[in-house]
Structures are given as C-alpha cells and as structure tokens.
Amino acid sequence: MYVIIAGAGRVGSELAKKLVENKHDVVVIEQDKAACDLLYSETGAVVINGNIAEVGDLVEAGVRKAELLVTTASSDADNLACAILSKSFGVPRIIARMRNPAFESAYKLAGVTSIVRVADILINQMLVEIEQSRVRKLISIGGGKADIYTVVVPESGKVVGKTIAEVTGSAKFPKRCMVVAVYDHETEEFALPRGGQVIAVNLEMVIISPAEFMKKAADFLTR
C-alpha cells in the first residue's frame, strides 16, 4: 500500500517504522530537518523536508497516487488543512490525529474517514485501521480501556470450518480478546456465540478487546 504520513513526531515516526517493517511503501512529510534525517537513518523510508499543508510538498510526496494519508501533526489546524488538500487530490482514505474534540465535525466535513483521538492514540489501533479493511471499530468502553470491534471472516480465511472454541483457545489468539456476538450474513441471524459454533465465510464477529491486542486477533481471524 502507498501511504503518506504527514508529520514525523513520536506518533508519526513510530507508525512509519511499523509500516516499513510491514512492507508498505511509505513517504513521510516533516518540517523539522533533524527529525527527517533521524527517521530516514532509522527506517530508510522516503522523508520529505516540507510542510504538510503545502500543495507542492504533498504533490512531491505522491499524493495523486496515495492509497492512504495519515496526518499526525500536533496542530488540528495543520491536520485539517492537510486533510482538505489530500481529499481534493482524491486520496480515498484519510486518517487524522485529533487533539481537540471540538474539531470533530470539521474533520468529518474535511473528508477524514477515520479520526483518532489523542487520548486513544496507539500505534496498533492505527495499524488496524490501515491494514485491516475487514475490521471496524464500533465504540470505546471503560473510559477507553477497551473497544468493541466487528471482524468479517474472509472466504479464504483459515479459521473457516473451525469452532469458536478452537479459535479463541489457540495460543495465537490474544487471551484479552473476547467474542461476544456473531452475525451470519447468509442466514441474517444475530446470536450469542457458543463454543461449538462453526465459523462460516463472511461471519461477522463482535469482539471486545484493548486496542493493542486487536491487530493480532484480526490478523489471526482474517489470515
């Protein structure tokens, strides 16, 4: 996937490292020259010393072919400007870091497809948003200590034909993730899961999990 990361602060830099490790094509835009040099030396990613709210710098970063842009600047104004410009170039998915909740409506109007609140920022949460299109976050619970997600099992999924008990009992499935409901798109039935229930293609599973464990669970369910 071709990803542009706007801003190489702590969050942007860590996200860039993870995405490079996961073999994505990553371009980073950062105004601080020292931060650019450091990130390049650590990751080998393409790093542009520029302004995330400047058209020329976005074009240089390849915004016309970007499949996803993640804007992680410390300023909501900069993130909004970057999102608006990126949307004007047709970037299909935009994830934005939001500091002030008062800007939420503005982010949505700007075309941002996923908003990550500063209080909720976790690298794994962003990785789920980027890499797992079959995963959707519904709501945070417990003051943000856990989230409720839905995961759709793909047709080629290795868990198809296995029981829920087999899947959740696997050493590779995080113990802090709990399957609390399932929806069968074939029969259009919603049910509480039983251990012996067999997982079918396109079964939608509702899971409660701390954000940092969800990527591992999603990878297991959709591999």
pLDDT of 5 strictly over 90: yes
From CA 166, how far away is CA 164, in angstroms rounded?
5
125-181 tens-digit pLDDT: 666 667 666 678 888 787 667 889 888 888 888 999 999 999 999 999 999 999 999
Note the pLDDT of residue 157: 84
Domains and CATH numbers, the chain: 2-131 (3.40.50.720), 135-222 (3.30.70.1450)
Residue 188 confidence (pLDDT): 81
Which residues have a Cβ under 8 Å from the Cβ of 217 and sit 6 or more positions away? Answer: 151, 173, 174, 177, 207, 209
179 phi/psi in degrees, rounded to 5: -80, 120
What is the tens place of the pLDDT at every residue in 111-123? 998 888 765 555 6
Strands 46-49 and 25-30 turn out to be parallel
Does 183 or 59 have the greater pLDDT score?
59
Residue 129: per-residue pLDDT = 65
